[in-house]
Amino acid sequence: MLRKEQNDLLTQTGPGTAMGRMFRSYWLPALLADELPENDCPPVRVKLLSERLIAFRDTQGRYGLMDEFCAHRGVSLWFGRNEECGLRCSYHGWKYDVSGQCVDVPSEPEASGFAKKIKLRGYPLVERGGVLWTYMGPPEAQPPLPEWEFIMVPPAHTFSSKRLQESNWLQAMEGGIDSSHVSWLHRGDLDSDPLFQGAKGNQYNLNDARPVFEVAESPGGLYIGARRHAEGGHYYWRITQWVMPSFTMIAPRGHHSVHGHFWIPIDDDTCWTWSYDYHPIRALTTGERDAMRDGKGIHVRYVPGTYRPLANKDNDYLIDRVAQKAGRTFSGVDGIAMQDASLQESMGPVVDRTRENLVSTDNGIIMARHRLLRAVKAFTEKGVAPPGVDAAHQKVRSAAIVLPPDVPFTEGARDALIARPEVAPASV
Amino acid sequence: MSSAGEARFRVQAPNSLPRAIKVIALDAVGAAATDRLAAGGWQQAAFFHALSSGALRDFFGRTSAVDDEVATADLIVMVAGPGGQAHAAATIGRACSARRVNTTGLLVSNAADPGLSKTLAQLRPWSLMVVIADSDEYIGDMMTALRA
């Protein structure tokens, strides 16, 4: 459980909140690069950390992210014209560049310099790895660009998607580090999903349904190890990485790609679930990309024209009670992503953590909260940069590995837990 | 369906009974941590040192048998540091196993400490959950989270 004030502290991320300020220490994924596919394309509305913003790509290919509303009369710039290196409001023609600086007020004499006195709040927006990243904190504290491995590999090696999740970011993220649910909720998917099937490690999962969990602190967050019995008294380890505030990387399976998530607050009731798949040493196959676009693995199918999952709370996630009864799915919901999201959304927008009854296998969640609370306190009271800002904390990998029984997994998998260019992931 | 409005209508009646959590220090690192915690005024937790005799001694100096304490526990948390001095883990673990009492092994240690593997080898056979925490501050947060 958490006390109410702790729950509020961790779940409220709007401007001026402690957690919101800490989130603004990081480069955050804001849009897929495909959402702004060409110069002077239509602008896109973006809500992040409870701020309504507009993103656009100007005539010279520069990206901008700024206050959605014109400084003149408060009209949404989504209706604006993206032309000649700026976004022009459709109401009275005020025009802004990618930094949010007003560059033209047609009703005022150009020589008056009035336009220079108008500036919308703007944030940097930078493409890396097919994702547009923004930094919403104070300019003087802007860290170097992110270096997560999935955005540093060649474009052919990586695939990212995003989906709307109708819950607070924290309960979505806590689902990502709650390794003990996998043996229940996702038990039907290891053998059927094309992005998981066929790995030797799947057999260890299926042969030992009662893993023992070990949690250890890492420089950027946590290592969460799930230990199962393997041959010769050895252990099969699946090691998930969590890096603050909301990045996870799930242990790979066999030759398949490595995958994981970011959970980014839209506001306190919704978040973006970012999902990535990549392979450090090879291009993704056409079949893999098609499967990801078709909602397999950790991705979803969408309501056309949106990033809302096709299975969503308004259609009861297309629950199939026959499949549930027959054991094809455990919850009746199809697909790993929506199996998770359906249950996390069912908790309510912000779950009341004063009423929960955690058990010892929830130590991953307990320790993540502990680290977040410590980090936000140090950040707020002493200005200490939180873990995960440092690029060294971002160069991590998950691992699936067989180790002798007396070896700490943090030692036995030490090299495997670090991202190294052109080195294959540790996977079974 | 869940919505902000709907979530307001959750039943507010209590949904659990108190659990008894017993925290046992296995070595000097564990003893220092549990002594600090024991002064904290917990409602559902008791704190012990494992003695070389095989008995337990609580914060007030009273001794008791491992079996007796395990018999009235819902969760046993064994606390130790690196270096392999957690010999009592086996005795306590056997008692928990016999009575089907859940166990957590909590190591206060940097994950890279060379002495970690020795203590892990002692704790792993008897722990259904293992936690390696950089600081003993974590234990208090864990106890609160578990409603101790």
Cβ neighbour number for residue A387 with a 10 Å cutoff? 21
Query: What pLDDT shows up at residue A294?
Result: 96
Q: State the smallest CA–CA distance between residue A359 and chain B in angstroms.
A: 6
> Does A358 lie at the interface with B, CB-CB under 8 angstroms?
yes
Identify all chain A residues contacting B124, using CB atoms and an 8 Å cutoff: 212, 405
- Across the interface, whether the CB atoms of B2 and A349 are under 8 A apart is answered yes
Which residue carries 């400490």 as its tokens?
Answer: B113
| CB distance A29 to A272 below 8 Å | yes
Among the partner-chain residues A347, A369, A374, the one whose CB lies closest to the CB of B2 is A347
| CB distance B70 to B54 below 8 Å | no
| CB distance A311 to A342 below 8 Å | yes
List the structure tokens of A80.
């604006």
* Bridge partner list, A122: A66
Looking only at the bridges linking them, the beta strands covering A95-96 and A247-250 are unpaired
Cβ neighbour number for residue A139 with a 10 Å cutoff? 8
> Does A319 lie at the interface with B, CB-CB under 8 angstroms?
no
What does the radius of gyration of chain B's CA atoms come to, in whole angstroms? 17
Identify all chain B residues contacting A239, using CB atoms and an 8 Å cutoff: none
Going by C-alpha positions, the residue among A128, A130, A104, A106 that lies closest to residue A116 is A104
Among the partner-chain residues A167, A216, A366, the one whose CB lies closest to the CB of B145 is A366
DSSP run (H or E) holding A165? strand A158-165
Q: How many CB pairs under 8 A join A and B?
A: 108
Identify all chain A residues contacting B112, using CB atoms and an 8 Å cutoff: 410-411
pLDDT higher than threshold 50 for residue B1: no
> Does B53 lie at the interface with A, CB-CB under 8 angstroms?
no
Cβ neighbour number for residue A197 with a 10 Å cutoff? 14
List the structure tokens of A215.
């949690």
Helix residue spans in A96-240 (DSSP H): 149-152, 169-176, 182-185, 200-207
What does the radius of gyration of chain A's CA atoms come to, in whole angstroms? 23
The SS3 call for residue A116 is helix
Assign B40 a pLDDT band (cuts: 50, 70, 90): confident
Identify all chain B residues contacting A405, using CB atoms and an 8 Å cutoff: 121, 124
- Across the interface, whether the CB atoms of B131 and A367 are under 8 A apart is answered yes
Amino acid letter, A43: P
Among the partner-chain residues B3, B111, B127, the one whose CB lies closest to the CB of A217 is B111
Q: Work out the average pLDDT over B18-31.
A: 97
Q: State the smallest CA–CA distance between residue B127 and chain A in angstroms.
A: 8
Q: State the smallest CA–CA distance between residue B80 and chain A in angstroms.
A: 14
Among the partner-chain residues B7, B128, B134, the one whose CB lies closest to the CB of A360 is B128
- Across the interface, whether the CB atoms of A166 and B2 are under 8 A apart is answered yes
Q: In degrees rounded to 5, what are phi and psi of residue A414?
A: -55, -50
> Does B122 lie at the interface with A, CB-CB under 8 angstroms?
no
CA distance B59 to B34: 9
Average pLDDT score, chain B: 93
> Does B20 lie at the interface with A, CB-CB under 8 angstroms?
no
Q: In degrees rounded to 5, what are phi and psi of residue A162?
A: -140, 155
| CB distance A346 to B2 below 8 Å | yes
| CB distance A221 to A243 below 8 Å | yes
DSSP E strand stretches across B1-124: 21-25, 45-50, 56-58, 63-64, 75-80, 102-108
Establish whether the linkage from the previous residue to A386 is cis, with ω within 30° of 0: no
Identify all chain A residues contacting B139, using CB atoms and an 8 Å cutoff: none
Looking only at the bridges linking them, the beta strands covering B102-108 and B75-80 are parallel
- Across the interface, whether the CB atoms of A215 and B132 are under 8 A apart is answered yes
Query: What pLDDT shows up at residue B136?
Result: 93
Helix and strand totals (H; E) in chain A: 12, 19
- Across the interface, whether the CB atoms of B133 and A408 are under 8 A apart is answered no
> Does A313 lie at the interface with B, CB-CB under 8 angstroms?
yes
Question: How many CA atoms within 13 Å lie on the side-chain side of A158?
Answer: 18
- Identify the burial level of A154 via C-beta atoms within 10 angstroms of its C-beta, where 0-12 means exposed, 13-18 middle and 19 or more buried: exposed
Looking only at the bridges linking them, the beta strands covering A63-67 and A51-57 are antiparallel
Query: What pLDDT shows up at residue A232?
Result: 94
- pLDDT tens profile B87-112: 999 999 999 999 999 999 999 999 88
Global pTM value: 0.95
CA distance A138 to B118: 46
Identify all chain B residues contacting A354, using CB atoms and an 8 Å cutoff: none
Q: Could you tell me the sign of the dihedral formed by the alpha carbons of A325, A333, A208, A214, in that order?
A: negative
Q: State the smallest CA–CA distance between residue B112 and chain A in angstroms.
A: 7
CA distance A369 to B105: 19
> Does A217 lie at the interface with B, CB-CB under 8 angstroms?
yes
CA distance B89 to B123: 6
Contacts 24+ apart (CB under 8 A), A134-139: A134/A27, A134/A28, A134/A30, A134/A48, A134/A65, A135/A24, A135/A26, A135/A27, A135/A28, A136/A23, A136/A24, A136/A28, A136/A48, A136/A49, A136/A51, A137/A21, A137/A24, A137/A25, A137/A26, A138/A24
* Bridge partner list, A57: A63
- Across the interface, whether the CB atoms of A1 and B145 are under 8 A apart is answered yes
Mutate to test the interface with B, among A363, A377, A406 (most CBs of B within 10 A): A363
Amino acid letter, A266: I
- pLDDT tens profile B71-89: 999 999 999 999 999 999 9
Query: What pLDDT shows up at residue A189?
Result: 80
- Across the interface, whether the CB atoms of A214 and B131 are under 8 A apart is answered yes
Helix residue spans in A18-125 (DSSP H): 18-23
- Identify the burial level of A354 via C-beta atoms within 10 angstroms of its C-beta, where 0-12 means exposed, 13-18 middle and 19 or more buried: exposed
pLDDT in tens, chain A (428 residues): 999 999 999 999 999 999 999 999 999 999 999 999 999 999 999 999 999 999 999 999 999 999 999 999 999 999 999 999 999 999 999 999 999 999 999 999 988 999 999 999 999 999 999 999 999 999 999 999 999 999 999 999 999 999 999 999 999 999 999 888 888 898 878 778 888 888 998 888 888 878 999 999 999 999 999 999 999 999 999 999 999 999 999 999 999 999 999 999 999 999 999 999 999 999 999 999 999 999 999 999 999 999 999 999 999 999 999 999 999 999 999 999 999 999 999 999 999 999 999 999 999 999 999 999 999 999 999 999 999 999 999 999 999 999 999 899 999 999 999 999 999 999 99
- Across the interface, whether the CB atoms of A216 and B2 are under 8 A apart is answered no
pLDDT higher than threshold 70 for residue B4: no
For residue B127, the chain A residue with the least C-alpha distance is A212
Q: State the smallest CA–CA distance between residue A109 and chain B in angstroms.
A: 49
N-to-C CA span, chain B: 33
Going by C-alpha positions, the residue among A377, A345, A405, A415 that lies closest to residue A172 is A345
- Across the interface, whether the CB atoms of A410 and B112 are under 8 A apart is answered yes
Query: What pLDDT shows up at residue B3?
Result: 59
